[in-house]
Amino acid sequence: MAEREVDRSVSQTVKAQLALRDQILSGALRPGERISELQAVETTGASRTPVRMALVRLEEEGLLEAIPSGGFMVKAFSERDISDSIELRGTLEGLAARFAAERGVSARELEPLKECLAAIDELLRQVPISVDAFSSYVTLNARFHALLTELSRSPPVIRQIDRASALPFASPSAFVMAQSALTEAQQILIIAQEHHRVVIDAIENREGARAEAIMREHARLAVRNLRLALRNRTHLDLLPALALIKTATD
Protein backbone atom coordinates (compact mmCIF):
# COMPACT_ATOMS: atom_id res chain seq x y z
CA MET A 1 0.00 0.00 0.00
CA ALA A 2 2.46 2.63 -1.12
CA GLU A 3 -0.06 4.84 -2.88
CA ARG A 4 -1.18 6.70 0.18
CA GLU A 5 -1.99 9.86 -1.77
CA VAL A 6 -4.38 7.90 -3.97
CA ASP A 7 -5.86 6.21 -0.94
CA ARG A 8 -6.86 9.50 0.56
CA SER A 9 -7.78 11.64 -2.41
CA VAL A 10 -10.31 9.41 -4.18
CA SER A 11 -13.05 7.39 -2.60
CA GLN A 12 -12.64 3.72 -1.95
CA THR A 13 -15.59 3.08 -4.24
CA VAL A 14 -13.90 4.72 -7.22
CA LYS A 15 -10.63 3.03 -6.37
CA ALA A 16 -12.31 -0.37 -6.29
CA GLN A 17 -14.17 0.38 -9.52
CA LEU A 18 -10.98 1.30 -11.36
CA ALA A 19 -9.08 -1.67 -9.98
CA LEU A 20 -11.82 -4.12 -10.91
CA ARG A 21 -12.21 -2.64 -14.36
CA ASP A 22 -8.49 -3.04 -14.91
CA GLN A 23 -8.66 -6.64 -13.79
CA ILE A 24 -11.54 -7.30 -16.17
CA LEU A 25 -9.96 -5.60 -19.18
CA SER A 26 -6.55 -7.12 -18.55
CA GLY A 27 -8.12 -10.54 -18.51
CA ALA A 28 -7.22 -11.29 -14.92
CA LEU A 29 -10.92 -11.95 -14.46
CA ARG A 30 -12.14 -14.09 -17.29
CA PRO A 31 -15.54 -13.72 -18.99
CA GLY A 32 -18.21 -15.88 -17.43
CA GLU A 33 -16.26 -16.05 -14.22
CA ARG A 34 -18.06 -15.26 -11.01
CA ILE A 35 -16.53 -12.38 -9.13
CA SER A 36 -15.96 -13.20 -5.51
CA GLU A 37 -16.53 -10.21 -3.28
CA LEU A 38 -14.02 -11.39 -0.75
CA GLN A 39 -11.40 -11.89 -3.44
CA ALA A 40 -12.14 -8.41 -4.78
CA VAL A 41 -11.75 -7.04 -1.27
CA GLU A 42 -8.27 -8.57 -1.10
CA THR A 43 -7.12 -7.37 -4.52
CA THR A 44 -8.55 -3.85 -4.29
CA GLY A 45 -7.81 -3.11 -0.67
CA ALA A 46 -11.24 -1.61 -0.12
CA SER A 47 -13.78 -3.22 2.17
CA ARG A 48 -16.92 -5.01 1.07
CA THR A 49 -19.24 -2.00 1.02
CA PRO A 50 -17.34 0.06 -1.58
CA VAL A 51 -16.55 -3.12 -3.50
CA ARG A 52 -20.25 -3.87 -3.76
CA MET A 53 -20.96 -0.32 -4.90
CA ALA A 54 -18.26 -0.69 -7.55
CA LEU A 55 -19.75 -3.97 -8.71
CA VAL A 56 -23.18 -2.38 -9.09
CA ARG A 57 -21.68 0.46 -11.12
CA LEU A 58 -19.73 -1.90 -13.34
CA GLU A 59 -22.91 -3.84 -13.95
CA GLU A 60 -24.70 -0.69 -15.03
CA GLU A 61 -21.68 0.12 -17.15
CA GLY A 62 -22.17 -3.15 -18.96
CA LEU A 63 -19.00 -4.96 -18.00
CA LEU A 64 -20.65 -7.22 -15.46
CA GLU A 65 -23.79 -9.27 -15.41
CA ALA A 66 -25.87 -10.02 -12.34
CA ILE A 67 -26.21 -13.69 -11.45
CA PRO A 68 -29.82 -14.55 -10.52
CA SER A 69 -28.77 -16.38 -7.40
CA GLY A 70 -26.66 -13.41 -6.36
CA GLY A 71 -23.35 -11.84 -7.17
CA PHE A 72 -21.89 -10.83 -10.50
CA MET A 73 -19.98 -12.39 -13.34
CA VAL A 74 -17.82 -10.89 -16.08
CA LYS A 75 -19.83 -10.39 -19.23
CA ALA A 76 -18.74 -12.08 -22.43
CA PHE A 77 -19.19 -10.38 -25.78
CA SER A 78 -19.41 -11.89 -29.22
CA GLU A 79 -17.84 -10.17 -32.18
CA ARG A 80 -21.32 -9.20 -33.29
CA ASP A 81 -22.10 -7.70 -29.88
CA ILE A 82 -19.09 -5.47 -30.33
CA SER A 83 -19.87 -4.38 -33.87
CA ASP A 84 -23.47 -3.74 -32.84
CA SER A 85 -22.25 -1.61 -29.93
CA ILE A 86 -20.13 0.42 -32.31
CA GLU A 87 -23.01 0.88 -34.72
CA LEU A 88 -25.17 1.85 -31.77
CA ARG A 89 -22.70 4.54 -30.85
CA GLY A 90 -22.61 5.69 -34.46
CA THR A 91 -26.38 5.96 -34.51
CA LEU A 92 -26.38 8.04 -31.34
CA GLU A 93 -23.59 10.28 -32.57
CA GLY A 94 -25.57 10.67 -35.78
CA LEU A 95 -28.51 11.85 -33.72
CA ALA A 96 -26.29 14.32 -31.88
CA ALA A 97 -24.88 15.65 -35.15
CA ARG A 98 -28.36 16.00 -36.60
CA PHE A 99 -29.56 17.89 -33.54
CA ALA A 100 -26.57 20.19 -33.80
CA ALA A 101 -27.24 20.83 -37.48
CA GLU A 102 -30.99 21.29 -37.17
CA ARG A 103 -30.89 23.47 -34.10
CA GLY A 104 -28.00 25.57 -35.24
CA VAL A 105 -24.57 26.09 -33.79
CA SER A 106 -22.76 29.42 -33.48
CA ALA A 107 -19.36 29.98 -35.03
CA ARG A 108 -17.95 30.36 -31.55
CA GLU A 109 -19.16 26.91 -30.53
CA LEU A 110 -17.68 25.41 -33.67
CA GLU A 111 -14.28 26.91 -32.97
CA PRO A 112 -12.86 24.17 -30.73
CA LEU A 113 -14.02 21.52 -33.21
CA LYS A 114 -12.15 23.24 -36.00
CA GLU A 115 -9.03 23.57 -33.90
CA CYS A 116 -9.21 19.87 -33.20
CA LEU A 117 -9.67 19.22 -36.89
CA ALA A 118 -6.62 21.31 -37.73
CA ALA A 119 -4.52 19.53 -35.13
CA ILE A 120 -5.39 16.16 -36.63
CA ASP A 121 -4.61 17.53 -40.09
CA GLU A 122 -1.20 18.48 -38.80
CA LEU A 123 -0.67 14.96 -37.46
CA LEU A 124 -1.61 13.28 -40.70
CA ARG A 125 0.73 15.45 -42.74
CA GLN A 126 3.71 13.30 -41.88
CA VAL A 127 3.98 10.09 -43.87
CA PRO A 128 4.33 7.44 -42.66
CA ILE A 129 2.50 8.19 -39.45
CA SER A 130 4.57 7.47 -36.39
CA VAL A 131 3.37 5.47 -33.42
CA ASP A 132 3.47 8.64 -31.35
CA ALA A 133 1.26 10.33 -33.88
CA PHE A 134 -1.18 7.43 -33.61
CA SER A 135 -1.25 7.96 -29.89
CA SER A 136 -1.87 11.69 -30.30
CA TYR A 137 -4.58 10.88 -32.82
CA VAL A 138 -6.40 8.78 -30.25
CA THR A 139 -6.43 11.70 -27.83
CA LEU A 140 -7.53 14.27 -30.39
CA ASN A 141 -10.12 11.94 -31.84
CA ALA A 142 -11.65 11.37 -28.41
CA ARG A 143 -11.73 15.12 -27.92
CA PHE A 144 -13.37 15.70 -31.28
CA HIS A 145 -16.10 13.17 -30.57
CA ALA A 146 -16.72 14.58 -27.11
CA LEU A 147 -17.03 18.11 -28.49
CA LEU A 148 -19.32 16.95 -31.26
CA THR A 149 -21.56 15.17 -28.79
CA GLU A 150 -21.86 18.32 -26.73
CA LEU A 151 -22.88 20.31 -29.79
CA SER A 152 -26.24 18.55 -29.61
CA ARG A 153 -26.83 20.54 -26.44
CA SER A 154 -29.14 17.74 -25.36
CA PRO A 155 -28.30 16.33 -21.94
CA PRO A 156 -30.25 13.10 -22.52
CA VAL A 157 -28.41 12.47 -25.80
CA ILE A 158 -25.03 13.32 -24.29
CA ARG A 159 -25.70 11.04 -21.38
CA GLN A 160 -26.71 8.13 -23.58
CA ILE A 161 -23.65 8.52 -25.82
CA ASP A 162 -21.40 8.55 -22.78
CA ARG A 163 -23.02 5.36 -21.60
CA ALA A 164 -22.69 3.74 -25.01
CA SER A 165 -19.03 4.74 -25.22
CA ALA A 166 -18.27 3.43 -21.75
CA LEU A 167 -17.86 -0.04 -23.17
CA PRO A 168 -14.14 0.02 -23.96
CA PHE A 169 -14.51 -1.55 -27.37
CA ALA A 170 -17.31 0.81 -28.40
CA SER A 171 -15.43 4.04 -27.80
CA PRO A 172 -14.47 6.09 -30.86
CA SER A 173 -10.78 5.22 -30.77
CA ALA A 174 -11.02 1.68 -29.50
CA PHE A 175 -9.29 -0.09 -32.35
CA VAL A 176 -7.14 2.67 -33.77
CA MET A 177 -3.96 1.67 -31.98
CA ALA A 178 -4.41 -1.96 -32.89
CA GLN A 179 -3.05 -1.62 -36.38
CA SER A 180 -0.68 1.28 -36.10
CA ALA A 181 1.78 -0.91 -37.99
CA LEU A 182 -0.51 -1.61 -40.92
CA THR A 183 -0.30 0.59 -43.98
CA GLU A 184 -4.04 0.28 -44.40
CA ALA A 185 -4.49 1.98 -41.07
CA GLN A 186 -3.07 5.22 -42.41
CA GLN A 187 -5.64 5.30 -45.18
CA ILE A 188 -8.39 4.69 -42.66
CA LEU A 189 -7.22 7.62 -40.58
CA ILE A 190 -7.31 9.87 -43.62
CA ILE A 191 -10.84 8.74 -44.39
CA ALA A 192 -11.88 9.24 -40.79
CA GLN A 193 -10.54 12.78 -40.86
CA GLU A 194 -12.51 13.44 -44.05
CA HIS A 195 -15.62 12.34 -42.14
CA HIS A 196 -14.75 14.78 -39.38
CA ARG A 197 -14.46 17.54 -41.95
CA VAL A 198 -17.76 16.65 -43.59
CA VAL A 199 -19.74 16.52 -40.39
CA ILE A 200 -18.59 19.99 -39.40
CA ASP A 201 -19.45 21.29 -42.87
CA ALA A 202 -22.86 19.68 -42.66
CA ILE A 203 -23.55 21.16 -39.25
CA GLU A 204 -22.43 24.61 -40.43
CA ASN A 205 -24.83 24.41 -43.36
CA ARG A 206 -27.58 22.97 -41.18
CA GLU A 207 -27.76 19.81 -43.24
CA GLY A 208 -29.13 17.46 -40.60
CA ALA A 209 -29.53 14.35 -42.72
CA ARG A 210 -26.01 14.66 -44.10
CA ALA A 211 -24.50 15.18 -40.66
CA GLU A 212 -26.34 12.14 -39.34
CA ALA A 213 -25.43 9.91 -42.27
CA ILE A 214 -21.74 10.74 -42.14
CA MET A 215 -21.48 9.95 -38.44
CA ARG A 216 -23.06 6.56 -39.02
CA GLU A 217 -20.63 5.86 -41.80
CA HIS A 218 -17.85 7.10 -39.57
CA ALA A 219 -18.66 4.45 -36.99
CA ARG A 220 -18.45 1.83 -39.70
CA LEU A 221 -14.76 2.63 -39.92
CA ALA A 222 -14.43 1.48 -36.33
CA VAL A 223 -16.17 -1.76 -37.23
CA ARG A 224 -13.68 -2.17 -40.05
CA ASN A 225 -10.84 -1.51 -37.63
CA LEU A 226 -12.27 -4.16 -35.34
CA ARG A 227 -12.30 -6.72 -38.14
CA LEU A 228 -8.77 -5.79 -39.13
CA ALA A 229 -7.59 -6.10 -35.57
CA LEU A 230 -9.15 -9.53 -35.17
CA ARG A 231 -7.67 -10.81 -38.42
CA ASN A 232 -4.19 -9.38 -37.82
CA ARG A 233 -3.57 -10.57 -34.35
CA THR A 234 -0.08 -9.15 -34.20
CA HIS A 235 -0.87 -6.23 -31.96
CA LEU A 236 -3.49 -7.71 -29.76
CA ASP A 237 -1.53 -6.66 -26.71
CA LEU A 238 -2.58 -3.10 -27.47
CA LEU A 239 -6.20 -4.12 -27.05
CA PRO A 240 -7.02 -4.99 -23.47
CA ALA A 241 -10.71 -5.04 -24.30
CA LEU A 242 -10.25 -8.12 -26.42
CA ALA A 243 -10.08 -10.21 -23.27
CA LEU A 244 -13.87 -9.92 -23.21
CA ILE A 245 -14.53 -11.44 -26.60
CA LYS A 246 -15.97 -14.90 -26.52
CA THR A 247 -14.87 -17.00 -29.46
CA ALA A 248 -16.83 -19.88 -30.89
CA THR A 249 -14.70 -22.36 -28.98
CA ASP A 250 -15.46 -20.96 -25.55
Partner DNA sequence: TCTCGCGCTATTGTATACATAACGTATTCA
Partner DNA sequence: TGAATACGTTATGTATACAATAGCGCGAGA
Residue closer to DNA (CB basis): 41 or 110 = 41
Q: Cβ(219)–Cβ(87) under 8 Å?
A: yes
Q: Residue 5: how many CB atoms within 10 A of its CB?
A: 8
| Residue in 164, 199, 221, 245 binding a copy of itself, rule: CB under 8 A | 164
Q: Rounded to whole angstroms, how far apart are CA atoms 114 and 190? A: 16
Element containing residue 153 per DSSP (H, E): none
Pick what 62 binds: a copy of itself, DNA, none; C-beta below 5 to 8 Å, kind-dependent: a copy of itself
Beta bridge partners of 66: 72
Question: What is the pattern of x (binds DNA, CB under 7 A) and - over residues 20-59?
Answer: --------------xxxxx-------xxxxx-xx------
Residue 69 Cβ, how far from DNA at the closest point, in Å? 4
Q: Number of H helices and number of E strands within the chain?
A: 10, 3
Element containing residue 188 per DSSP (H, E): helix 183-204
Residue closer to DNA (CB basis): 43 or 91 = 43
- Residue 160 within binding range of a copy of itself, rule CB under 8 A: yes
The phi and psi torsions of 74 (rounded to 5 degrees) equal -70, 130
Pick what 26 binds: a copy of itself, DNA, none; C-beta below 5 to 8 Å, kind-dependent: none
Residue closer to DNA (CB basis): 5 or 237 = 5
Return residues touching DNA (CB under 7 A): 8, 11-13, 34-38, 46-50, 52-53, 69-71
